[in-house]
Chain A
Amino acid sequence: MMLTAAAFFIMALAGKAGGDHGRVSPAWLIGAYFVLSTGELMLSPMGLSLVSRWLRRA
């Protein structure tokens, strides 16, 4: 959640740097995706493993 928030904060900064019609470097997107993907890796697999661990074994 923290990393995801940070990723979109980076995108907000990128939007601020470029303004409404300006164009910014793709490095902004790649950097934001780096943080966002790290966040995804820490949330999505953890959720899956939690669910499979908590389910009652039939």
Chain B
Amino acid sequence: MGINIGAFLARSWRDRQAIASGSIPRFAVASGGMLVSAAILWRFKRAIERPGSGGARNRVRERSSDVAPSALDAIPDWKRICALLVVFLIVIVFYMAFDQNGTTMLYFANDNTAWNVSGILSNAINPFWIIALTFPLLGLWKYLNKRGREPSTPAKMVMG
């Protein structure tokens, strides 16, 4: 979600700046922004990882033990690793197609779309939809879950 808010802001806003300034100031802005977020992380790192009690790591641990504590522990390591490799493979193939939005889709937006803005603006469409669709989709899963018909995680991945 945060990724996409950032991507949406940067991509819709940069288009207007791009005409005025060269690439050096633009890269400098990106670099400076990273330093700002590193400073924020440094400042608030205690809130994220508190040693001992209540840190993020402990919360994850509690949640994953809620799901299926004994059943998951019983599965041997090599089986888990194989399962993870399958997931990685799926994700690799997905992103091979998905990341065409930076190339093929961008060329199409520039050369074959009837609008009077730069095609770069089309890169803001994807994060816009992510922001717009996250909560409706969560609502849908919740609704289906209440009726006992929420699809399993692999089923969702196949659909996606």
Chain A residues close to B by CB (< 8 Å): 1-4, 8, 11, 14-15, 18, 21-26, 28-30, 32-34, 36-44, 46-47, 49-57
Contacts and interface: CB of A to CB of B under 8 A. Distances in A.
B112 A46 contact: no
B105 A29 contact: yes
Interface string B65-106: 101000011000100100110010011011001101100110
B10 interface: no
Interface of B: 60-61, 64-65, 67, 72-73, 77, 80, 83-84, 87, 90-91, 93-94, 97-98, 100-101, 104-105, 108-109, 111-115, 122, 125-126, 129-130, 133-134, 137, 153, 156-160
A29 B109 contact: yes
B133 to A, nearest CB: 6
B130 A1 contact: no
Nearest to A28: B113
